[in-house]
Amino acid sequence: MAFQERVFSGVQPTGSLHLGNYLGAITKFVALQDNYDCVYCVVDLHAITVWQDPAELPRATREVTAAFVACGIDPRKHIIFNQSQVAEHAELAWIFSCVARIGWLNRMTQFKEKAGKDRENASVGLYSYPTLMAADILVYRATHVPVGEDQKQHLELSRDIAQKFNNDFGGSIHSHGYGDAFFPLPEPLIQGPATRVMSLRDGTKKMSKSDPSDYSRINLTDDADTIAQKIRKAKTDPEPLPSEEAGLAQRPEADNLVGIFAALAGIGKTDVLRQFGGAQFSTFKAALVDLAVAKLGPIGEEMKRLVQDPVAIDAILGEGSARARALAAQTMSAVRDIVGFVRS
């Protein structure tokens, strides 16, 4: 069965947004607007799988919303909203937690990383998180999901859940007139030179909001001086840059910086190396500083301007939530029938 094409993705309002979020996800969100109906969500229900200070969460939610708008997502043409305003996410997540198998969740590497050694003390939500993620996507019957490389396994699980739901309820799906499959198998969109941006301090570790060193990442709200300092201090190796991509193989820090340059410039790594092959890092870093400041500076400024007006941001989220709710309600109404819940 052909499904109407729709894009869905989400970003957690935890810590500050960084270059990894921007290049791995948000730039893709922006690009997809031209060809798809897009739904972009600030996933506050996901955020609380680990402790969030209730006095801080609203600010973080508004900041991610501001980043979406500052990066170029148009909230009139597409939907920007926060997850907790659309209760259908949690409702479908419950049904999916009865479809997903414990064995599937046990394989999730992100849970193992996040829970660490003290697994018994992790929240149940952190463990079942991928079922909520599947619900986020499938409550809009979304077909395409732009994400960074680190979300690939969760996307595969979402596909498994959709497939099992379609199989388990196949007869009911058919008898209610929805054809052979009710949910699409959502396709991950993980492309380009920066699907996994690494820490500036250690090219083998992912750039992350939770790294204790602020020098490991470039935040979207960093000013020009801070961006320049962080790039100048970024770890490198003593060799000049290679002329071919193969020469980056055993050089994680060089590979990372070249990938960042390529993604910011909208070109491939090969093009970057054609320009900078044989150059010292000092030369390359100076060019990277100019490029990063030119691209990120205006976004940071616009974010800072937008967050000054929380009423306007809340209006975007309120309006987006109303539109999202209308779509989600249609799916849930069908799902209740398919599962066999009595409605009176």
| Catalytic positions | 114, 206, 209
- Minimum CB separation from ligand TYM for residue 327, in Å? 15
- Minimum CB separation from ligand TYM for residue 233, in Å? 18
* Nearer of residues 64 and 313 to ligand TYM, judged by Cβ: 64
Q: Dihedrals φ, ψ of 220, to 5°?
A: -65, -20
Nearest residue to ligand TYM on Cβ basis: 24
192: left (phi over 0), alpha (psi -120 to 50) or beta: left
- Minimum CB separation from ligand TYM for residue 170, in Å? 25
Asked if 259 contacts 193 with a C-beta cutoff of 8 angstroms, the reply is yes
Helix axes 310-339, 88-99, angle to 10 degrees: 40
**3-state per-residue secondary structure call for 69-112:** HHHCCCCCCCEEEEHHHCCHHHHHHHHHHHHCCHHHHHCCHHHH
Asked if 247 contacts 274 with a C-beta cutoff of 8 angstroms, the reply is no
* Nearer of residues 218 and 338 to ligand TYM, judged by Cβ: 218
* Nearer of residues 31 and 279 to ligand TYM, judged by Cβ: 31
* Nearer of residues 21 and 221 to ligand TYM, judged by Cβ: 21
- Minimum CB separation from ligand TYM for residue 159, in Å? 12
* Residue of 282, 273, 298, 323 lying closest to 76 (CA atoms): 323
* Nearer of residues 204 and 282 to ligand TYM, judged by Cβ: 204
* Residue of 157, 207, 210, 237 lying closest to 15 (CA atoms): 210
Q: Which two tokens stand for residue 93?
A: 């997540």
* Nearer of residues 25 and 327 to ligand TYM, judged by Cβ: 25
Q: What is the DSSP string of 16-30?
A: --BHHHIIIIIHHHH
- Minimum CB separation from ligand TYM for residue 145, in Å? 5
* Nearer of residues 133 and 338 to ligand TYM, judged by Cβ: 133
Q: Which residues bind ligand TYM (CB under 6 A)?
A: 8-12, 20-21, 24-25, 43, 46, 133, 136-137, 145, 147-148, 150-151, 195-197, 206-207
Cβ-count burial of 225 within 10 angstroms (0-12 exposed, 13-18 middle, 19+ buried)? exposed
325-341 residues labelled b (16+ CB within 10 A) or e (exposed) = bebbeebbebbebbeee
- Minimum CB separation from ligand TYM for residue 254, in Å? 17
Return the residue matching tokens 């340059």. 261
144-146 and 187-189 beta bridge pairing: parallel
- Minimum CB separation from ligand TYM for residue 253, in Å? 14
